[in-house]
C-alpha cells in the first residue's frame, strides 16, 4: 500500500481526469458557440461506434469468461441496490412520479460509457478499458429496459423499454461477441476485419466525450439546482460505497469465483462512482409525463448530470489514488 501525496493527486488529475475534462470542455464550448445538434452524433455513436468498441473489446479481452460473468452480476447487483436505495430516499424526500423516476435514474445509473470508459483507460490501462466497456455494455442493457420502466412508471408506457432495447445494436453486439468468443470463431487480432473494428471502436472515445460536453452545454439548471442535492449525494457518496462493498465481496473467499485481479475490482468501483448517466435525459424525455410542476423530469435529469459531473472531478481524483494505493480493494 503506497502513500497518497498531493503530487500524486495532481499527477492522477493530469493523466486520468484532465484529458476527459479537456475534450468534454471542447464539446461544451462548441455547444455554447455553435448551433450543434448532438442527435446525429448520438445516432452514429449508438448504432456504429459503440457496438464496434464493445464487440472488439469483448472478443479480444484478456479477461476470463468467469470474470466477464462476475462483472455482469456485479453491475446487476449494484444497479438493483441503488434503485432500491434511491427509490426509498426519494419517497422520504417527498418526491412523486414523474419526478421520482428522474430522481432514481440520476442516482442509480453511472456514466460508465462516455465518461467511465476513457477514465478507466487513462487510470488503469488496457484492463481498465476492457472492464469499463463490459460494465457499460451490461448497464446499457439495463438502462434501455429497467431504466425505461422507471422513467415511464405511471405514464402507461412502462414496458416500452423491451421494444426499445430490441432495436439497440449494443445488445446484439454483446450477445454475438460472447458467442463468437465461446465458439472460438474470432478472426485473428491483426486481421483486416478486427483492425477495422478496432479503428471504428477507438474513435468512439473522443466522440462520446464531445457529445457529453455538447449535451451539458444545453442544460438549464436554474430551477432544479437545489432539487438535485440528494441524488447527487447518493450518486457520488453512497454509490461508491455500494460498489466497493460488492467488489470486496467478490474478491473475498466467500465467493467461489472472484475477480481474477485487483485491477478489475478497482475499475468496477470506479465505474460505480462515475457521475450520473446521460441516457436518462433521453428516457425521461420520451417516456415520462412532464406534468405541470415547476421542474420537468428532463430538466431535473440534466441538472443532476451537469452538477454530478462537475462535483465528481475532485472526488474521482481522490478515489483513483485510494484505489491505486490499495486502500479499498
pLDDT band at 103 (very low <50, low <70, confident <90, very high): very high
Mean pLDDT for the stretch of residues 204-223: 75
Q: pLDDT at residue 50 above 70?
A: yes
* Cα–Cα nearest to 296, from 36, 35, 22, 99: 99
Kindly report the average pLDDT of the chain as a whole number: 85
Which cell numbers hold the place of 253? 473467499
202 membership: H or E segment, kind and range: helix 192-202
Distance, in Å, from the CA atom of 71 to the CA atom of 174, rounded to the nearest integer, reads 14
Least reliable range by pLDDT among 89-98, 141-150, 310-319: 141-150
Q: What residues contact 325, with CB distance under 8 A and at least 6 apart?
A: 1, 2, 3, 4
pLDDT band at 276 (very low <50, low <70, confident <90, very high): very high
Q: How many Cβ atoms sit within 10 Å of the Cβ of residue 105? A: 31
Question: Contact 234/86 with Cβ under 8 angstroms?
Answer: yes
pLDDT of residue 11: 84
pLDDT band at 292 (very low <50, low <70, confident <90, very high): low
What phi-psi label fits residue 46: left (phi over 0), alpha (psi between -120 and 50 degrees) or beta?
Answer: alpha
3-state secondary structure 42-107: HHHHHHHHHHHHHHHHHHHCCCCHHHHHHHHHHHHHHHHHHHHHHHHHHHHCCCCCCHHHHHHHHH
pLDDT of residue 73: 94
pLDDT of residue 137: 86
Q: pLDDT at residue 205 above 70?
A: yes
6-324 placed in CATH 3.30.1300.10? no
pLDDT more than 70, % of the chain: 90
* Cα–Cα nearest to 137, from 165, 182, 170, 115: 170
Amino acid at each position: 500500500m503506497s502513500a497518497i501525496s498531493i503530487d500524486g493527486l495532481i499527477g492522477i488529475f493530469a493523466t486520468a481526469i484532465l484529458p476527459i475534462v479537456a475534450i468534454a470542455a471542447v464539446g461544451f464550448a462548441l455547444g455554447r458557440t455553435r448551433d450543434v445538434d448532438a442527435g446525429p452524433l448520438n445516432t452514429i455513436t449508438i448504432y456504429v461506434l459503440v457496438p464496434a468498441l464493445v464487440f472488439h473489446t469483448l472478443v479480444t479481452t484478456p479477461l476470463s469468461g468467469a470474470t466477464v460473468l462476475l462483472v455482469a452480476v456485479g453491475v446487476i447487483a449494484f444497479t438493483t441496490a441503488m434503485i432500491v436505495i434511491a427509490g426509498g430516499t426519494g419517497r422520504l424526500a417527498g418526491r412523486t412520479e414523474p419526478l421520482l423516476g428522474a430522481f432514481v435514474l440520476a442516482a442509480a445509473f453511472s456514466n460508465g460509457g462516455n465518461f467511465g470508459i476513457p477514465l478507466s483507460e487513462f487510470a488503469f490501462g488496457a484492463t481498465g478499458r476492457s472492464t469499463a466497456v463490459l460494465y457499460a455494455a451490461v448497464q446499457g442493457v439495463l438502462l434501455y429496459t429497467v431504466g425505461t420502466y422507471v422513467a415511464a412508471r405511471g405514464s402507461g408506457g412502462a414496458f416500452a423499454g423491451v421494444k426499445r432495447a430490441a432495436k439497440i445494436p449494443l445488445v446484439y453486439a454483446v450477445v454475438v461477441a460472447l458467442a463468437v468468443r465461446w465458439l472460438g470463431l474470432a478472426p485473428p487480432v491483426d486481421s483486416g476485419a478486427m483492425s477495422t473494428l478496432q479503428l471504428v471502436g477507438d474513435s468512439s472515445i473522443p466522440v462520446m466525450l464531445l457529445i457529453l460536453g455538447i449535451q451539458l452545454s444545453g442544460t438549464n439548471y436554474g430551477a432544479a439546482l437545489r432539487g438535485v442535492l440528494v441524488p447527487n449525494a447518493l450518486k457520488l457518496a453512497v454509490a461508491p460505497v455500494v460498489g466497493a462493498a460488492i467488489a470486496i465481496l467478490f474478491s473475498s473467499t466467500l465467493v467461489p469465483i472472484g475477480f481474477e485481479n485487483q485491477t478489475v475490482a478497482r475499475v468496477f468501483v470506479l465505474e460505480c462512482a462515475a457521475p450520473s448517466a446521460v441516457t436518462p435525459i433521453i428516457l425521461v424525455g420520451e417516456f415520462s409525463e412532464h406534468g405541470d410542476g415547476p421542474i420537468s423530469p428532463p430538466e431535473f435529469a440534466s441538472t443532476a448530470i451537469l452538477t454530478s459531473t462537475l462535483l465528481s472531478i475532485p472526488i474521482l481524483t481522490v478515489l483513483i489514488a485510494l484505489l491505486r494505493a490499495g486502500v479499498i480493494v
